[in-house]
Structures are given as structure tokens and as C-alpha cells.
Structure 1
Amino acid sequence: MYPTPQSIHWVSGTDSPEFALLSWALTRSSRVALDAEWKPIRSHNHQTRITAFPAVSLLQLACRLCPGLAEFPPDLADPTHFDHNESLVFLVDLQSVPLNSVYGLLREMFVCPDILKLGFRFKQDFVYLSSTFCSQGCDPGFDRVEPFLDITSIYNLLQQKQLGRKASKESKSLATICQELLGVSLSKELQCSDWSRRPLTEQQKTYAAADAHCLLEIFVLFQVWIDKGNSEHNVDQPPNYPNLRFGLTEILEKPTVTERILHNKFCEASNVVRAAAASEICKSFSSTDAVSVSLCRKARPLDESVLKILKKYGSKIVLQESDRKPRTSRKKSRKQFPLSLASKVKHLDMIDDWQGPPPWALSLGGNGCPKFLCDVMVEGLAKHLRCVGIDAAVPYSKKPESRELIDQIQREKRVLLTRDAKLLRHDYLVENQIYRIKSLLKNEQLLEVIETFQLKISEDQLMSRCTKCNGRFIQRPLTTEEAVEAAKGFQKIPDCLFNKNLEFWQCMDCNQLYWEGTQYHNAVQKFIIVCKLND
């Protein structure tokens, strides 16, 4: 079985069972996926020079245990809870754990030849991580990660083989890579949240764990594809393995399982690793001598198949002296606004509340029907708005310029919804047509929009728009026979629906068919609760 995230451990102290398990796991891991989070730097002043790197608040380590050498401590409370093929995900709270207690462990892990390190554009994270440890007296910090494999390189190689041409130079996000390779939606709503605030929410912890674990999943896919290519000729596409997708699908798309994982790992850690076992393990990893302690490797060297991959596709991260100092921007200073206009822009940056009225207001000649444009930062909000019957469009292009967004909202009389504060400076061009969303989660964003714009939502409106293209449904339902005819050459209707006497609906714009099945009723019930329609 491929690794599944059955263990997520919050490490916040050196005397905790989780810290002991982390120390133990690093001696028995063949692969470690790396990620880090910090408080985002937000500055509206483009002339401000950054004099210090941000302090890393959270370090994520997803450990793949070595086959055959992953026996858990004998005093484990419930040995059946773990599978030898699974991954252990550790969230190390660098604001609580004394950095000198993990400095030696991490430094040796970063350069251990028997551990493959996986990351996604990890160099910047590594620079910040080294700076964070140096600031706390752990000189000289970290200087290299080796052997290392960047997930971006894996993705580009798979794309190149699959498409039969050079991979696009366009930079892909981790969420896009997970969607294309694993078929799993990796939500990035919390990416820009304040990771320095404590306590972190359970959603933040789940997001952070998934960010590291998915790197292990992608490497497994890549390794199987490489091995399959050695035994079969003309393998042009990566294989599709449902079991491989199960781990990420479980943690990201099944809330009940996520709640169970979080409950077991964060609230009942003592039931997973007994304190007695932890204290025995901790004897070799005490906080007083952790700086100089060796990893005492219990694992065998990397197997031959991994070594072959590393020889051909592997790399390393090496920090130079120039990497340890923040770079000052060499961009030319922006054109200065006239004094009165600059004051107005500064004033608009400070506005938190909607000023109104919106362009659809009857007093402005509108028809009273709300219309929004959700930019790429809140694209998920567009689908939620459509689900409650609100007209919510998205930009025409994937990477629109500010001018394109302004043209679209002017032409279609919409309000632009965004989380980018910089767009507020254009409000003087389209007064009362730009609103900055403050919430991070889609459900909360939906409520914020409903309350801010005083939208009237009724149960009859739910699921009345196409979530795919924002189009309206036809005015009457289709019979099964009409739906089959409409779907020919376009969409397949599952055979199990034919005997259920269901009603079908079709989008008037993109012709997508919908029916009132289990997903429909679940969605209706969800938005009744979210929009508080029963209150």
C-alpha cells in the first residue's frame, strides 16, 4: 500500500511524546518532505528596504519510514494504529520548541546521504529557516540540503514526457501540480494567513500537514512511473493509481476523517505514544545535548532505484554568503501620484468597510441584481456565490492585469472581490466597485459578502446557477429521455440514475447537465446552514 497520512503530530516541546517520536523517526526515514511557514510580509511602501528575513514559525516534516526498519517502540499504546508503510507528519512549532534542541537533528538530516529530501521551491524556505536559527544563537545556521529533489523538476519531466515536448516555462503552483498529477484539490486559502499567531486553527494545521505530505505522494507516483518505464516500452503517460490518491483525498476531501486525525493527534497524543516509551527514546535526544547528538542512523542506505533517480534528476541546495543577506530591490521608483491623488489612495487603503452603493443599485439605474467579479485570490468564493444563486464571474485570463479587471467590472457593472489590498488604489477609477475580502475561509467569505452587501438569499435560489460557468439553468426540468438526448457526445449520465425518476437541469450557456441527486441535496443542506436560512 502507498503511504497514507495516518499520523499528524504537533511538536511544541522537548519533553513531549511527539518530540521523542520525531527524534526517533528521523533515524528511520528514507525520505523527508520539507516545508515551512512564516508571517507574511505586507508592505504598501515599495521603497521600504527589508533588513531581516522573516522568522519561520512552523516547520513541516513528512517522514517516510524505511521498509523493514520501521518497527515502532515496544511500549506503543496501540501498535495496530500504525502501518509500516505509512508516513508520519510532524508540525514543529519553532515559536515554542527551543531551537538548539532541534538544530543538531535538522542539520544532520539535511546532509544525511541516506535520506532523500523533497521540497517545492524550498530554497527560500531554507534561507529563512537558517536565518531564524542563526538569530537564536545556532551559528552558523544551515548551509546545504543534499541529496535533494525539487517537485517542480518532477512535474516538468512528467509533463515533457506526457506531451512529447518541452515543458512550459510557466511556473505552476503546488495546488496545480497536485490537481494534475494526483487528481486532488489542494486548498491554498490559508497560505497567506498569519502563521506567527497562536494557537493555530485546526484548518491551518491540516493545511500545513497536507502541504508536506503531498510531496511524498508525488514522488511515489514519479518513482512508480520511472520503474514502469524501465520494464515497458513507449510509456508516454504517468500511470493512474487510485490507491496513490487515497491518502491526500482522505485528508483534504473528507472532513470527518480530518477531524478524526486531528482529534487523535492533537488532543489524544498520549494514547498514541505512551510517556514511558517517549522518555526512553528521549534519553538519546535530551534538550541539553541535542546540538551535538548524532542521528544514530538505524536505516539502510537509499535503495538502488532511488539512487538512480537521484543520479539523473537529483540536486542540492547550497547557501552562499550572498543568500544570507536580504536583497534590496533594484526596481525603479514608481511614478508618483499628484499630492491630492496620493492622499486619496492612502485614505482608500485604510478603508475597511464598504461605502456603497453598488453599481446595480436602483438609485444608479441598475436592475437591483447583484453581480460580482472574483479575482484569482478568491476564485473559490465565486463557486460558493453561484451555489446560492448569485451572479459571480471570474477574470477572462488566468493572470489578468489590473487594467483588465477594471475594464471587465466597468463593462459588466460588477463589484470586484479580492484580497489584494493594492487593487484598492484603483477605486478612484471605479468608485464603489472594488471590495477587499477580509476572511480566509470560503464559508466565512460568503457570509462576509452576504452581510456586507445585504444580499437576500432564499432556499429557492440555492443551486440555481451553473457552478462551472456561472450560467443560468433552463426554466423547466428535463425528463430522463430529454437529458439523455441533450447529453449525447457531451456528457455521460450514470446508468444508476435511469430508474430513479430524477429531474435534470441544463445550463443555458455551457450545456452542462445537473440532477437532484445526493450531492445536490447535500449541497443545499450545507448552504442552508452556512447562510443561516433556518434561523
Structure 2
Amino acid sequence: MRNETSVTFSMDPQRPLNVQLVSSTDSPEFTYLTRSLTRCRIIALDAEWKPIRTRTPQSSFPTVLLLQLACQLGSRLGGDSDESDDSVVFLLDLSTIHLPSIWELLRDAFVSPDILKLGFRFKQDLIYLSSTFSSNGCEPGFDRVEPFMDITSIYNHLQDKQHGRKASKQIKSLASICKEVLGISLSKELQCSDWSCRPLTEEQKTYAAMDAHCLIEIFNVFQAKVIKEGKLVRHPTEPHPPTVTLGLKVVFEKLDIYSKIVRMKVHEAIDIARATASYVSPNIVTEEGMTLRIGHRNTLPMDEYLLKVVNEFGEKILLKESDKTAKTSKRKAKGRSSEGLICNEKQGQSFEDWQGPPPWDLALGGDGQPKFLCDVMVEGLAKHLRCVGINAAISYSKKPEPRQLIDQANKEKRVLLTRDAKLLRHDYLINNHIYRVKSLLKNEQLLEIIETFQLKISEDQLMSRCTKCNGRFIQKPLTTEEAVEAAKGFQRIPNCLFNKNLEFWQCMDCNQLYWEGTQYHNAVQKFIDVCKLNE
């Protein structure tokens, strides 16, 4: 009987998923983990950490506090295991586990040729994970994951097959991919929660497990599709499927080591046989000249179908020494007093993809309400954001200097939105206060911001802000007579509206008047369609 740290949830009610929180190496959950790693064919990887709020010349990478391993025991297609649908997600609490005691276990799993690893832009996670283990005496940390497949690449392959041509490699969030491929809304609300607090909440455990398990679900869709279409190609150098039994004597004769078998233990001989019939990766060469797989744990070899997928689409993550070094500024800040400013030595590269948390996050002292500042290149986006009820300001001046934009965003706790690559190369940028918009059209830009920042849009929010100044409307509507009186001197109300018994709304900041006419209803319907609120 496992303890209360076990959680059960599911994407599919017919297949409940087991979630295990591993807090120590002497727990039943850790025993379950080590046994599962010898039987699993696929592992999905994810990590959670507490972001570093400010950077100093001695800054380091964030410390990974939770590592998620979603294990699929067996393969759903072509596997002969009775546990082909058995999946479990292990949540490794790295804040309580003695890291040196699990370093070797993880390292072996990361490079095992018998296990396909899945991740979503996992290289950054691996860098932080390697740094976390290295700082706890586990040198040299981690430097590779193979065989590996990135979910972004899998999604692009699916797009290529769906459209019958090479699809544009647009950047998609994991939530967007889950919605499109699985039809599941993956909430990212807890992404920026405080992962250093213990005990973890049930919501945090569920969020962390879902983030990892959905990667396996997406891969299964992809694998089923490519196998069904029969488009897997065997390379000339591809070894025989590991399901083919060669016989130990034949294997040893081919390796010219038959005379040496008498000196070896049975499990070592089995390892050699497996090594000759499985995926080839960098291995260890013994003094006798024999090639053995990295790691000492026996694992089940991949079935024929999964091996073909790996050989056709597999890749790997390799970390260089430069990747393991936190980038710090070599320039001296002269007269820089604003809080939260960091030097961007990589010239905007780290701001291409949003990493969060946003400055309005409650953990950072914000009010929890999304707020943006749009520069002159995306002023049209500002109006679209206002139309869906999001606080979107523009610069105080018509031709602001980069420093002015940065200071305004910092002061008002906003994320600066821009398409100006030069702005991202500015020497001093605010940590987590800037995002480069990639789309060109306003409707697509709006969707990009909603998906990237996981904004919640409802029909009640539409047209709730002044598109002119970003102000909020008065809570009580005005009658026609009150509106005529309020509009005197700066706004004309058409005479055709007087007999229609309309309600008027006034901006509390600029006093602009609005009414629910044809233009209003057309705008509401437009943003219902753009934001897909009727789906």
C-alpha cells in the first residue's frame, strides 16, 4: 500500500494515470521508480524551478526543485507487453532528495538507447538541471539526452503530413499544441507558482504531472499516424529490430568473443547480446575491446515500431561547456538606479521566447491583472487587446527613447511588447518585462499574446475598455439625455440615436462616450470569432 503522496488523475477517464511523489530514496515510490525505469520504453521530461528575480555579476542558473518523469511502460503499437497502456508520472522532489544518490540513475536513463526521451524545449531545463546537480557535488552534471524527440518537432511533422507540404515552423506553446492535437485545454496558471514551498499543493502536483504526461499523449498520436501511413524508411545502417532473437552463440561468434564468455556473468552476457541488437549510441569500450551500453541497469529493448520511429526522427541534446556557464555582463552599469534591470549580453536572444513570470504576478508583488505596454510598431495590437478587456497602454510620448519605454514598463509593472529587434539589443533590459511579437497581422498578434501569456478571455470582457485611452467605463450606463449633456463640447451624438432607447457608456478617464450600435455588435462578434469563444 503506497502512502498518501500518490495522486490519481487522467486526461482520459477510461485510463486513470498514477502519479507518484518521490521525496526520498528509501521510500516505496523510489523503489517503484527504479523498477519502472527498467521496463519503460518512453520517458517524458519536464522540470520546475523558482525563477531568479534579479541578476548579479555572480548570478547562477535557477535551482530545479521538481523533475517530472512520465513513463510509458511498453509501447502501444507493436508491443507485446501486457502493460502497454500502463503509464505513471514520477514527481522527483529535488529539494528533499539527496541528489548524489539519484544522479547515476538519471544519467543512465538520459542516455539509455532503449528509452526514447520526450521534452518540450527541454535544453534549457537540462542546463538548469545539470547546474543543480553540479552544485551538489554531482560533477559533471548532465551533458546529453539521447535518443530524444522535441514535441515542437513532432508537432511540425504532424503539420507537414496534415497539409501535404512543408508547414511553416511557427512557434507554438505547449498549451496550443495540446489543444490542437489532443483537444485538451492545458492550464498554465500554476507555471509561475512558488515551487519552493512545501508541501506542494494537489493542484501543483496535477499541473506538473499533466505537463509531462501530455508529451507522451502527443507522441502516441504522432507514432500512430506515421505507422498507419507506412512512411517509415529503414536506413541501410539500421540494425535488426531487437525483437529478433539471434542466439547467444551466434552473437558471440560474430563478435569474436566466444572464448571469453566463460569468464563473464550471465547478466553481462545478456547485456552484450542486447547491445548488438538495439539502438546504437556512444558507449563504453572495455579493456577486452568489447562495447557495452552506458549504465549498468538492465532495460527492455525497444520494439520494432518504436525503434523505426527513433531511427527516422530521433535527435539528441548535447550541452557544451559554454551552455553550463551562466551569462553575466562584462560591462559596468554607470548611473543605473532602476530596480530589476539586467544586462542583455546575448542581444535579445533570451527575450525571443517568453519564460516568465510576468511582473503582475502575485508572487512578485503584482495585482494579478495582465498589463502590457505596446511600442509604436504594435499600437494596433494595443487597441485589439483593449477590445478584449486587457489593459494595454502606449508610450507617453510619440517618439519615445528605448530607455523611456523600459522605465515606463518597469514603473507600471507591464510587459513591453515590440517587433523592434533593435530594442531587444538595447544594453539594459528589464528581466521578464519584454516580449518580441512574432506575428505580423493584428488578429494573429492578439492570439499570440493570449496563448503566450495564457490570458483568460470571456465574452463579458469584450468592449469593456476605452479603445482610445485604455480607461475603464463607468459602472452605470447613461440615458440618452444624460449622454447628450455629458457629450457637450467634445463629442457629437447622431440624432438618429435619440429614439432608439440605447444605453450609453462613458470612459472614466477621457470621458469618451460609447453606445451599443451596429458597430459595437460587429466588433463583439469579430472578437468572439478571433478568440474562438464560441467553440
Q: CA RMSD in A?
A: 4.9
Structure 2: give runs of 5+ residues left out of the alignment. 1-10, 233-293, 341-355, 363-368, 394-401, 416-457, 466-519, 529-533
Q: CA deviation at 1:34?
A: 0.5
- Asked if 1:36 corresponds to 2:47, the answer is yes
Matches within 5 A, 1:289-328: 294-297=296-299, 299=300, 301-328=301-328
* Structure 1 equivalent of residue 391 of structure 2: 416
* Structure 1 equivalent of residue 93 of structure 2: 93
* Structure 1 equivalent of residue 70 of structure 2: 62
Checking the alignment, whether the CA contact within 8 Å between 1:5 and 1:88 is kept in structure 2 is: no
Report the AA paired with residue 391 of structure 2: L
Q: CA deviation at 1:471?
A: 7.9
* Structure 2 equivalent of residue 179 of structure 1: 179
Q: Distance in 2 between matches of 1:410 and 1:307?
A: 48
SS at match of 1:171: coil
Deviation readout 1:48-93 (Å, 9 max, x if unpaired):
446322211100000000267867xxxxxxxxxxx75131000000
> Structure 1 430/143 Cα, relative in aligned 2: closer, same or farther at 3 Å?
closer
Deviation readout 1:189-223 (Å, 9 max, x if unpaired):
12122222222222111111011000000000000
Q: Distance in 2 between matches of 1:178 and 1:308?
A: 25
Checking the alignment, whether the CA contact within 8 Å between 2:65 and 2:196 is kept in structure 1 is: yes
- Asked if 1:110 corresponds to 2:115, the answer is no
* Structure 1 equivalent of residue 204 of structure 2: 204
The size of the alignment, in residue pairs, is: 333
**Quick one: which of 33, 37, 60 aligns to 1:22?**
33
> Structure 1 376/103 Cα, relative in aligned 2: closer, same or farther at 3 Å?
closer
**Quick one: which of 456, 459, 462 aligns to 1:466?**
459
Checking the alignment, whether the CA contact within 8 Å between 1:59 and 1:94 is kept in structure 2 is: yes
Checking the alignment, whether the CA contact within 8 Å between 1:134 and 1:140 is kept in structure 2 is: yes
Report the AA paired with residue 108 of structure 2: E
> Structure 1 210/467 Cα, relative in aligned 2: closer, same or farther at 3 Å?
farther
Report the AA paired with residue 116 of structure 1: L
SS at match of 1:148: strand
Checking the alignment, whether the CA contact within 8 Å between 1:143 and 1:319 is kept in structure 2 is: yes
> Structure 1 333/4 Cα, relative in aligned 2: closer, same or farther at 3 Å?
farther
What is the percentage of aligned positions where both structures have the same residue? Answer: 48
Q: Structure 1 length as normaliser, TM-score?
A: 0.52
Deviation readout 1:309-340 (Å, 9 max, x if unpaired):
2222110112222222112358x999x8xx8x
Deviation readout 1:157-179 (Å, 9 max, x if unpaired):
11223234433343211111111
> Structure 1 182/469 Cα, relative in aligned 2: closer, same or farther at 3 Å?
farther
Q: CA deviation at 1:433?
A: 7.9
Report the AA paired with residue 466 of structure 1: E
* Structure 1 equivalent of residue 283 of structure 2: none
Matches within 5 A, 1:297-376: 297=299, 299=300, 301-328=301-328
> Structure 1 470/217 Cα, relative in aligned 2: closer, same or farther at 3 Å?
farther
Q: Which has the higher contact order (CA 8 A, sep 6+)?
A: 1
> Structure 1 168/24 Cα, relative in aligned 2: closer, same or farther at 3 Å?
same
Q: CA deviation at 1:435?
A: 7.8
Structure 1: give runs of 5+ residues left out of the alignment. 72-82, 233-291, 348-374, 382-391, 437-464, 473-505, 515-519, 521-535
Q: Distance in 2 between matches of 1:119 and 1:129?
A: 14
Deviation readout 1:507-533 (Å, 9 max, x if unpaired):
664459x9xxxxx9xxxxxxxxxxxxx
Matches within 5 A, 1:208-247: 208-230=208-230
Q: Structure 2 length as normaliser, TM-score?
A: 0.52
SS at match of 2:66: strand
Matches within 5 A, 1:496-507: none
* Structure 2 equivalent of residue 126 of structure 1: 126
Report the AA paired with residue 24 of structure 2: G
> Structure 1 49/166 Cα, relative in aligned 2: closer, same or farther at 3 Å?
farther
Q: Distance in 1 between matches of 2:53 and 2:217?
A: 32
Name the structure with the higher helix share.
1
Matches within 5 A, 1:431-450: none
Q: Distance in 1 between matches of 2:63 and 2:459?
A: 44
Report the AA paired with residue 23 of structure 1: T
* Structure 2 equivalent of residue 159 of structure 1: 159
Q: CA deviation at 1:8?
A: 0.5
> Structure 1 424/510 Cα, relative in aligned 2: closer, same or farther at 3 Å?
farther
Q: Distance in 1 between matches of 2:100 and 2:357?
A: 41
